[in-house]
């Protein structure tokens, strides 16, 4: 379930990034839609990072072990 949430957040970040690019090309800096899209992207990326950290700390998400600690 947590992997689905992470995937949806990652997809939302990518969609927001491309919408910001679209607004940048279309509006020619006449509106604030580009800034709003990129602000949403930064917020979603921060939320994604927070979800990954919390899921890792609570044990819902198991990350790959470090090769340094394998020996």
> What is the per-residue pLDDT across 18-64, written as a single tens digit (0 to 9) for each?
998 888 888 876 788 888 988 999 999 999 999 999 999 998 988 88
Using a cut of 0.85, tell me whether the model's pTM lies above it.
no
CA distance 39 to 30: 17
Confidence of residue 71 (pLDDT cuts 50, 70, 90): low
**Cα atoms in the 13 Å half-sphere on the side-chain side of 40:** 17
Is the model's pLDDT at 70 over the cut of 70? no
| Locus of tokens 């990072």 | 49
The span from the CA of 62 to the CA of 43, in Å, is: 24
Give Cα separations from 14 to 30, 42, 50, 57, 65 (angstroms): 23, 11, 17, 26, 28
pLDDT band at 69 (very low <50, low <70, confident <90, very high): low
């Amino acid at each position: 379930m947590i992997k689905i949430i992470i995937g949806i957040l990652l997809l939302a970040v990518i969609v927001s990034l491309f919408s910001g690019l679209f607004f940048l090309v279309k509006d020619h800096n006449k509106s604030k839609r580009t800034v709003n899209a990129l602000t949403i992207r930064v917020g979603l990326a921060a939320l994604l990072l927070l979800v990954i950290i919390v899921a890792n700390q609570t044990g819902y998400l198991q990350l790959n072990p470090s090769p340094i600690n394998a020996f």
